[in-house]
Each structure stands twice: as structure tokens, then as C-alpha cells.
């Protein structure tokens, strides 16, 4: 798209694009994934592949202002809008004898939920993004290489099928610090996702219409480093989710009591990776 120089250090950018995406091969190859029958009732699921998924299309518009050289900082503000058709959505329904028969399964799985993907109609995603990166150039020479950064994406979804546009995070915040010199690179990042909306739950005798699953707000902290101790050898490592925060999946609908909303808690712990990378 076109770029307009407001000043030597201020840019105005505008862009529009049309995109189309086909389903991944794993999303259309026939198959079933069934969880352990000894798992808790809320965690028993049958994930079924929908071989009839069609491609989705998107028409997007983006306008941004970027500023450079503000006492070592780079900042930008952007507005965006995307009109999406035939997007993929997830449907979660309670297993019934008829549904199990369709997949060739017995009534032993009546305590399970069936999860599958489908094409939905239209949705519009619009919002704004703020980004900032600050070089700490004023530090002593031995400490130069530090940078602080942060960005925020605030968006909303609307349209005929907005409730089926999932998963969708209305707020994503990231901030942290990095240190980069000739031989060493260290990065620390904090990510916050606010209430990621999930699949609609099919209505039944025990589930009222308008019930949805969602992931509770979560903060994750990641740390990574690289150290080149030889021109051809580098030691690297990372720690994902330093504090081991769990993923909490909830379910709520009309008049759902708060104490019945939690469905599952997944403790993934901290994933630590260490290794050596060589170049020849």
C-alpha cells in the first residue's frame, strides 16, 4: 500500500488486501481423536474431522502512523478491519446415540462431547494496535544493548456470525526487555490474553441455548538466551511459562452459576529447552 512521509521521522501507511486460505490437510483428512475414558467427565471429548471444510476469504484494510527517533524510541499506532467469510468455527455438542452411530461408535461414549469444525457465515474484526520499543542508549557503555518493548492489540468482532468466530481474544498485551550484544542475546517476554472466547456448546436437556466455552485470562512469562562462544558454535536455551500458570477452560450461559463455570484446569508446567547450535 502507499506510504506518505509526514516528516523525516513520521510515516503514514495504508494498505488493503484480499486473502484466501484453504484448510490444513489435518483438518480435512478423515479421522477421530478420542481422549482417555478414565479422564474426568468434563475432559472426555471426541474430535471429529469435517472433510467438507471450504476455504475462507478475507478483505482487510489497515492504516498506521509510525514514529522514529523519539529519544531512542520507535512507536506506532494502527487501525485495522477485516471482513471474513466462511471462516472456520468449532462446534462442541453432547454425544447422542445418533451422532455416535454416524461415527461408528457405540453408546459407551455417551458421556463424551463431540468437537468438530465447520464453515460459518460472515464476521468483521476491527480494532487498533499500539507498539513501542525503547533503546536504553543513555546507559553506561557496558550496559548498552538493553531494549524495552510493549504492544497491545484491542479488537472486537461483529457481524451475523460473530458468536461463532472462535477462538477470539479481545485483548492481547505483550511487554518485556531484551539485551543484545555481539556474543549474547537475552529476551524476557510477558504475554497477557484476556478471556479467549471458545466454541458454542450445543443446547440439550441440561445445556441451555447460548452456552459457550472460553479460556480464563492468563499471563505467561518466557525467557530465552543465545551465547556464541565460538564463531561456529552457539549455546541456546529457553523457559516457556516460567511461573507454570495453568490454562483454565470455563463454560457459561444464561443464568450459569459462577461455581459451575470451571470445566478443566490444565497444568503444563514450565517447558525448558537447552541445546547447542553449530554452523559449518
Full strand arrangement of the beta sheet holding 113-119: 32-34, 45-48, 113-119, 88-94, 196-201, 211-215, 247-252, 262-266
- Contact partners, residue 62, CB within 8 Å, separation at least 6: 1, 13, 14, 15, 16, 78, 79, 80, 81
Query: What CA–CA distance (Å, rounded) separates 156 from 172?
Result: 12
pTM over 0.85: no
Chain-centre distance of CA 93, in angstroms? 23
Smallest CA-to-CA distance from 249 within 236, 237, 267 is with 267
Query: What CA–CA distance (Å, rounded) separates 130 from 257?
Result: 36
Smallest CA-to-CA distance from 265 within 244, 243, 238 is with 244
Query: What CA–CA distance (Å, rounded) separates 203 from 93?
Result: 8
Which pLDDT tens digits describe the chain residue by residue (280 residues)?
Answer: 788 888 888 999 999 999 998 888 888 888 888 887 776 666 788 888 888 888 999 999 999 999 987 788 899 999 999 999 999 888 778 888 888 888 888 888 888 888 888 888 899 999 999 999 998 877 777 778 899 999 999 999 998 888 888 888 899 999 999 999 888 999 999 999 988 888 777 777 777 778 888 899 999 999 999 999 887 899 999 999 999 899 998 888 888 888 888 888 888 889 999 999 887 7
Under a CB-based contact definition with an 8 Å cutoff, are residues 271 and 241 in contact? yes
Q: CB count, 10 Å around CB of 126?
A: 14
Q: What b-and-e string marks burial along 183-210, b requiring 16 or more CB atoms within 10 Å of the CB?
A: eebbbbeeeebeebbbbbbbeeeebeee
Alpha-carbon distances of 58 from 87, 161, 232, 262, rounded to whole Å: 9, 15, 44, 34
Pairing of the two strands 218-230 and 233-240? antiparallel
Query: What CA–CA distance (Å, rounded) separates 198 from 265?
Result: 15
pLDDT of residue 115: 85
Q: Which residue has the cell 513520521?
A: 10
Amino acid at each position: 500500500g502507499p506510504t506518505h512521509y509526514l516528516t523525516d521521522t513520521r510515516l503514514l501507511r495504508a494498505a488493503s488486501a484480499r486473502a484466501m486460505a484453504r484448510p490444513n490437510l489435518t483438518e480435512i483428512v478423515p479421522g477421530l481423536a478420542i481422549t482417555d475414558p478414565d479422564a474426568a467427565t468434563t475432559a472426555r471429548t471426541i474430535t471429529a474431522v469435517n472433510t467438507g471444510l471450504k476455504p475462507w476469504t478475507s478483505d482487510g484494510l489497515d492504516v498506521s502512523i509510525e514514529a522514529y527517533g523519539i529519544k531512542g524510541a520507535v512507536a506506532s499506532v494502527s487501525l485495522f478491519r477485516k471482513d471474513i467469510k466462511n471462516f472456520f468455527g468449532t462446534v462442541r455438542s453432547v454425544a447422542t446415540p445418533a451422532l455416535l452411530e454416524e461415527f461408528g461408535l457405540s453408546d459407551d461414549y455417551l458421556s463424551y462431547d463431540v468437537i468438530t469444525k465447520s464453515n460459518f457465515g460472515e464476521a468483521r474484526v476491527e480494532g487498533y494496535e499500539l507498539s513501542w520499543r525503547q533503546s536504553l542508549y543513555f546507559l553506561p557503555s557496558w550496559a548498552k544493548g538493553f531494549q524495552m518493548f510493549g504492544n497491545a492489540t484491542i479488537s472486537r468482532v461483529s457481524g451475523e456470525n460473530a458468536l461463532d468466530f472462535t477462538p477470539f481474544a479481545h485483548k492481547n498485551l505483550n511487554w518485556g526487555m531484551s539485551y543484545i550484544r555481539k556474543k549474547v542475546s537475552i529476551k524476557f517476554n510477558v504475554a497477557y490474553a484476556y478471556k479467549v472466547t471458545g466454541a458454542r456448546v450445543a443446547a440439550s436437556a441440561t445445556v441451555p441455548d447460548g452456552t459457550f466455552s472460553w479460556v480464563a485470562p492468563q499471563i505467561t512469562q518466557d525467557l530465552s538466551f543465545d551465547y556464541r562462544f565460538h564463531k561456529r558454535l552457539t549455546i541456546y536455551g529457553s523457559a516457556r511459562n516460567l511461573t507454570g500458570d495453568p490454562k483454565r477452560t470455563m463454560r457459561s450461559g444464561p443464568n450459569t452459576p459462577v461455581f459451575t463455570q470451571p470445566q478443566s484446569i490444565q497444568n503444563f508446567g514450565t517447558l525448558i529447552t537447552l541445546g547447542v547450535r553449530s554452523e559449518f
